[in-house]
Amino acid sequence: MKRLVRDVCDPVVRLPRIDDLEKTAAERGWTFEQVYPKTIQSCPGARAMGEDFLAWVDNGKQMLKSHRDASRGQVFSRHWASLLHSVYRYPMDRVFRCAVPGASIVRHGGGVLSGEHEILSEAFFLSRLLRKSEVPQPWPRPLEGKFISLLTIWGDRNLGHFFFDAMLRTAAFDNLADYRFLVPEAHLPWHSGLYEVAGIRPDQLVPVRDGVVAVEELHVCHTSSSGSMPRKELLLKFRERARKAAGVNENTIPFRRLFVDRSGAKRRKLLNQNELEMVLSARGFDLIRWEEHSIKDQIRIASETAMMVGPHGTNLLNSIYCRPGAKLMEIINPMWWDAATLRQASLVGHEFWYCFGEDASPDHDTRISPDKLCRILDYMLEADVCEVPPEKSGREVTIL
């Protein structure tokens, strides 16, 4: 009911759209450059134990209905399930840059308008742009200089969205020294760390506080047709740039085994982590809390890691800095999961595994038995495995 009242009292401003930026650039004399052509990327299915496959056989229909995306229609949960369990090939739009004079950028979501107040649909991922109350009066004066926008939906608080939907834009440019960067006003430690390893100086940052900011020239970078869908070339280029900035020794042979500790998160934690520590220690795993390390240190630690394990979340994002061929395992809550970690792992050449835990709270905290963690780690390590009896297989998934 509140949403309906808001829509009536504060309607969306209807603006003309530009859906083909290359065509418009040719007509108006804007500089347009293709960075990478259209392509098709491939994602292999994940590896898992037989008992988790049997959990899908027994409970899959209910799991699709209970999935966090099921409220949007089961097509979404079915999509994630198919991506997790089969080879999936998906098209990626071309990557391009375009210099747009007199552009305006909406702080919330990073929406871009031309100098004539037209929506540039290829410049951002958010469908909603401006409501009547958000239209500035008068329109702001343009900031001088050449700008790249690092504003995107949830970029002020979500590391995954900020990294994939904003920071990867920087990899489409060979030289960042001549640009200024529109960035979220929120300045968390991982924001500043990512700016540093991307090669962006503090004096190049322009935090956006107002609802709309106008600039002399915006260099729009189109990286994908939808959010959180990284282009392989951009991901690998950013990875190489970040590893170099962090001082990674490329001759170091990966030796670490890490279990990523998510206990500092507000929700979606692993509730019984203390019960698992003996299993992990016996197999050479160290616990790590990424938030206790700088971004550069995180990159160096990840570069030395041969196997990384942890619960679902952006806490596994640092696996992209591991050397290709690393083993990565995600503990999945049957009611809150997706295949985004699998997708990013496949793009950098890792071996991805998953296993089901149990949904253990209204915040979708997870619990996994030490015995089950023991079994899947031994599978990954190719060690002797204590097989679970067939009659007990696939019975550990609990949907509350």
What are the chain's domains? 11-38+93-244 (no CATH), 46-86+249-392 (3.40.50)
Query: Distance between CA 302 and CA 205 in Å, rounded?
Result: 27
Structure tokens at 125: 């991922």
pLDDT at 6: 54
Nearest to 52 by CA among 325, 321, 372: 372
Instruction: Tell me if residue 281 falls in helix, strand or coil.
Output: helix
Whether the Cβ atoms of residue 333 and residue 366 lie closer than 8 Å to each other: yes
Instruction: Tell me if residue 27 falls in helix, strand or coil.
Output: helix
Residues 6+ apart with CB under 8 A from 331: 270, 309, 310, 311, 312, 354, 355, 356, 357, 366, 368, 373
pLDDT in tens, the chain (400 residues): 344 445 678 888 889 999 999 999 999 999 999 999 999 999 999 999 999 989 988 988 888 888 888 888 888 888 888 889 999 999 999 999 999 999 999 998 899 999 999 999 999 887 667 888 888 889 999 999 999 999 999 999 999 999 999 999 999 999 999 999 999 998 999 999 999 999 999 999 999 998 899 999 999 999 998 888 999 999 999 999 999 999 999 999 999 999 999 988 888 899 999 999 999 999 999 999 999 999 999 999 999 999 999 999 889 999 999 999 999 999 999 988 889 999 999 999 999 999 999 999 988 899 999 999 999 999 999 976 555 444 444 445 554 5
DSSP letter string, 32-43: EEEEE--EEEEE
Q: In which element (H, E) is residue 234 found?
A: helix 232-245
Neighbours of 275 (CB within 10 A): 14
Query: Distance between CA 229 and CA 60 in Å, rounded?
Result: 26
DSSP letter string, 109-146: TT-EE-TTS-EEGGG-S-S---BGGGS-SSPPPPEEEE
Structure tokens at 243: 């590893």
What single-letter amino acid sits at 356?
F
pLDDT at 343: 94
Nearest to 155 by CA among 180, 190, 199: 190
pLDDT at 390: 44
pLDDT at 337: 85
pLDDT at 179: 98
Q: Give the CA distances from residue 338 to residues 63, 87, 228, in Å, rounded to whole numbers and listed in that order.
A: 12, 15, 12
Query: Distance between CA 84 and CA 339 in Å, rounded?
Result: 6
Total length of the chain: 400
What single-letter amino acid sits at 207?
P
pTM: 0.92
Angle between helices 232-245 and 295-303 (to 10 degrees): 100
Query: Distance between CA 132 and CA 121 in Å, rounded?
Result: 19
pLDDT at 121: 94
Q: Give the CA distances from residue 13 to residues 9, 96, 117, 309, in Å, rounded to whole numbers and listed in that order.
A: 12, 28, 11, 46
Query: Distance between CA 338 and CA 201 in Å, rounded?
Result: 35
Query: Distance between CA 30 and CA 116 in Å, rounded?
Result: 14
DSSP for residue 47: B
Query: Distance between CA 371 and CA 107 in Å, rounded?
Result: 48
Q: In which element (H, E) is residue 301 found?
A: helix 295-303
pLDDT at 75: 86
Query: Distance between CA 382 and CA 124 in Å, rounded?
Result: 44
